[in-house]
Amino acid sequence: MTEGPKMVTVTINKSQYRAEEGETMLSVAMRNGIDIPHLCYEESLDPYGACRLCMVDHVTCGKRTMMTACTMRAKEGLEIMTDTPEIVKYRSTLFELYLSQAPKSDVIKKMAARYGVTKTRFLKKIVHDDPLGGKCILCGLCVRVCDEIMGGSAIGFINRGPSTVVNTPFFDENPACLGCGTCAKVCPTHAIEIEDQGDTRVMKSWSGTRIKLQECPDCGQYFVPKAMLEEIQSIPDPGIIDELKTLCPACRAKEIAKSVFKSTFQGSVYHG
């Protein structure tokens, strides 16, 4: 018999909530509709704590310490405050820093405005020909999914401090890139640009890395990077029967529907 997760009671802004022990406080808050801004959190990855926006006041014995909600684990009696004057003050300055770092990001502008920050006192960072279009805030999500989830490690951080950027090694086309596009999917500021040009996917932000796409033998649509398809097919049992393996999802759905129809109706007509 397996035991379920242990449930605990935590306090957020003076109200009590049930939570799984060890769950991050950010996820408890989100589930209960309590708004805590955040940019570098992704449920499927290890907490990273870099964007600093989700800082909340952790209350213990009347003392308050600031901590990031994405790295704080729920336990019985834990109490946090998400909107104290200090938190609001620091959060505003952080938003100003973000507005200066990613001046082209509408996501950041909207998010900051939601917390009352519409302009920044700091010099805006302008980089000509920025492959990330002045939208990257270095949250590291793209680097982390590429490494931890996809196992590609096609991109990484380059330089350090204020000169840090994300790109492929030596800003060269990188054959290690599968072209899966997960980086773009997780990017909170939509900074990563990918474009499909006929049979080729161009990772515009990643040094123009080009990846060949697979054509669906049925409908002729290009639907998946070849390298990625090969990767999937190399798995001993991908759970897809051979005839369907190379089809695009739409054609695959059609084929499955046809075969289901055959086995239920045609079977009874011809062999009944």
Partner 1 sequence: MTGFVGPIETPEDLSKVREIGLSKLLNRPRIAVGLSTCGIAVGGERLFARLKEIISSGGYNIALVRVGCIGFCKEEPIVNITIPGKPLVILHQVSENDAEAIVNAVLKGGVPDEKVLCKVSSWDHITRTIIYGTGFEQIPDYHDIPFFSRQTKVILRDAGFINPEDIDEYIAVGGYQAFVSAVSSRTPEEVIDIVKQSDLRGRGGAGFPAGLKWEITREAKGHLKYIVCNADEGDPGAYMNRNEMESDPHMLIEGLLIGAYAIGTSDALIYIRAEYPLAIERLRKAIDQAREYGLVGENILGTGFSCDIQLATGAGAFVCGESTALAASIEGKTGRPRPRPPRLTDKGIWGRPTDLNNVETFCNVPVILTRGAEWYRGIGAKGNTGTKVFSLVGKVENVGMVEVPLGTTLDTIVSEIGNGGAGGKSVKAVQTGGPSGGCIPARLFDTPVDFEHLNEAGSMMGSGGIVVMDEDTNMVDIARYFINFATSESCGKCVPCREGLKHTLLILNKVMAGKGTAADLEMLESLSDTIQATSLCGLGQTAPNPVLTTLKYFREEYEALISEGT
Sketch the per residue contact string, 24 through 63, with partner 1: x for CB under 8 A, - otherwise. Answer: -----------------------xxxxxx--x--------
Q: Is 162 in the site for partner 1 (CB under 8 A)?
A: yes
Q: Is 181 in the site for partner 1 (CB under 8 A)?
A: no
Sketch the per residue contact string, 77 through 106, with partner 1: x for CB under 8 A, - otherwise. Answer: ---------x---x--xx--xx-xx-----
Between 170 and 270, CB nearer to partner 1:
170
Which span sits near partner 1 by CB under 8 A: 23-31, 66-74, 76-84, 250-258?
A: 66-74
DSSP per-residue letters across the chain:
-PPPPPEEEEEETTEEEEEETT-BHHHHHHHTT-----SS--TTS-----S-TTEEEEEETTEEEEEETTTPBP-TT-EEES--HHHHHHHHHHHHHHHHH-TT-HHHHHHHHHTT----SSPPP--TT-TTTT------HHHHIIIIIS-----EEES-GGG-EEESGGG---TT-----HHHHH-TT----EEEETTEEEETTTTTEEEEEEEPTTT--EEEEHHHHHHHHTSS--SS-GGGTTS-HHHHHHHHHHHHHIIIIIHHHHH-
Q: Is 121 in the site for partner 1 (CB under 8 A)?
A: yes
Least distance in Å: CB of 159 to partner 1? 7
| Interface with partner 1 (CB under 8 A) | 47-52, 55, 66, 68, 71, 86, 90, 93-94, 97-98, 100-101, 121-123, 137-138, 140, 157, 159-164
